[in-house]
Amino acid sequence: MPEYKAPLRDIRFVMNELLNMEQHYAEISGGEECSPELVDAILEEGAKFAENELVPLNRVGDQEGCRWDNGEVKTPTGFKEAYIKFVEGGWPSLSHDPELGGQGLPQSLGMVINELVGTANWSWGMYPGLSHGAINTIEAHGTEEQRKQYLKPMVEGRWTGTMCLTEAHCGTDLGLLKTKAEPNDDGSYAISGTKIFISAGEHDMAENIVHIVLARLPNAPEGTKGISLFIVPKFNLDTEGDVGERNGVSCGSLEHKMGIHGNATCVMNFDQARGYLIGPANKGLNCMFTFMNAARIGTALQGLAHAEFGFQNSLTYARERLQMRSLTGIKAEDKPADPIIVHPDVRRMLLTQKAFSEGGRALAYFAAMQVDKASRATTEEERQAADQLLSFITPIAKAFLTEIGFESANLGLQVFGGHGYIAEWGMEQNVRDCRISMLYEGTTGIQALDLLGRKVLMTQGETLKRFTKIVHKFCKAEAENEALATYIKPLQAINKQWGDLTMKIGMAATQNRDEVGAASVDYLMYSGYAVLAYFWAISAKVSLQALEEGGDDAAFYHSKIATANFYFKRILPRTHALAETMVAGADSLMELDDSAFAF
């Protein structure tokens, strides 16, 4: 059976030593209560819940899946009971406004708990996880009455939320959606249409489910300019604001899918369902991005979760599995063979997982800090700067971390060899569960176009400079530090090359706009490796300083330095090939006529 132990030592390293979140919390509104003692207590309790309540349900959810019966869905054994404990523990309200029943703690702390929950059982974690985006959307764009009606029970976790965007014929191209919203005499709307791929769209864990639905008003403009956003509850509310009669929304079927079997992925039918407009008419996409940005950071955590889960289990297996002898001599004289961890190729796989999970954690938490600052920094200037940096980081975090998370999950299976392909070890489930992360909330290709096209080129590189300046200042400050030279020199080079490649692609795109699409995914992956290089460089700096100061945890810091060395020597060189392919031009992709694709 697979196991998971919350990596609290590394979490504390990233929070306290790498990113100095204690100071960060002291500088933002609402962070005053985040004393080290409180944060430690929350982490400890979150780890206990993840390990004791959710890990045992991970395989149960995969084996049982969800059951559909006449429009209603029953979740796997134990899921509902765990959710009740989750709500009783106050976990859904951790990072929400106290006026709404929340605890008012920073969103970054909530995201750390989301990592623990998601790594222990991603399928289960999706049920409460999707509610945060729905809450944020209603809070930001809803009327005072809507906020009063819906937010408190959602913050408390008694109600959950979803986003209902995709339709069978349109996928990511939401301008093609057909769901209709007809005005009712009382100011509400009758919503009719079918949405697909709706995670947690129907289940038995909460009293009510609040759907955030994209639909078209009568005579709305074509395309994305004619989309509006609506609240559509599973149960309508009575005059007291409590759950009333069933609304005209139901689950038509469950998707039969590759992974995340414990989460209900639904086809949702809206049959004259009563809905309520959120925000201005025909501005639904603008409002929806409040939801999408939160969801994309959440999906970045999924990449981290599957990397960590794969690493922990493959490391344990590699220490115990005996096979062959080390090429440099017997290492386990009392055993018939050496544990496979002595073999260089197994080390390559384990170190790749370790570098991706620990480096990915630094990136995800850095993004979470920008989420805090964008809403809680003390000045408007600071809030805007954080929001712009977050807009640059989000597509990298979402797409890059899910790509390397999937690579890590596959490496976890590979370390197990044939046993990894067998269900009882949990590695093939980790691969299956991870695969969706590169698809939903915008595929890797969509995130790459967003990064290169919208975030970088459309701002003439200004958003890129917000991050490269951070790297430049670090490199300049450590330029004379000989102990860091092995990291600073390649980091300086890639930081400069990053800007040069951006300019080259931008110039090519002025002649042929396909150049952006041709370069985008390679550009995103290059950006991800560059960002992780920065975090591994500062990890090495912090670890070297800790060793100089002495202490009881030398092995941990030596491990950090060794992993940083591995990353710079074995992973970062991937950027050399990407630097070539991203500027290779669109011709090699587009010269073949559509009709010439043959089989």
Tell me if 194 sits within 8 A of 179, measured CB to CB: yes
* CA–centroid distance for 103 within its chain: 23
Residue by residue, what is the 3-state secondary structure of 462-488? HHHHHHHHHHHHHHHHCCCCHHHHHHH
C-alpha span between 78 and 84 (Å, rounded): 10
C-alpha span between 406 and 494 (Å, rounded): 25
Q: For residue 441, indicate whether it is catalytic.
A: yes
Q: How is residue 269 written in tokens?
A: 């039918």
Q: Pick left, alpha or beta for residue 143 (phi over 0 → left; psi -120 to 50 → alpha; otherwise beta).
A: beta
Tell me if 116 sits within 8 A of 128, measured CB to CB: no
H or E segment at 399?
helix 380-416
- Coil, strand or helix at 154: helix
Residue 254: strand pairing partners? 266
Residue of 441, 482, 515, 549 marked catalytic: 441
Residue of 357, 428, 358, 369 whose CA lies nearest to 393: 369
Residue of 33, 158, 31, 41 whose CA lies nearest to 101: 158
**Phi first, then psi: what are they for 278, rounded to 5°?**
-110, 125
C-alpha span between 476 and 484 (Å, rounded): 12
Q: How is residue 286 written in tokens?
A: 């603008």
C-alpha span between 254 and 297 (Å, rounded): 26
- Mind telling me the catalytic residues? 441
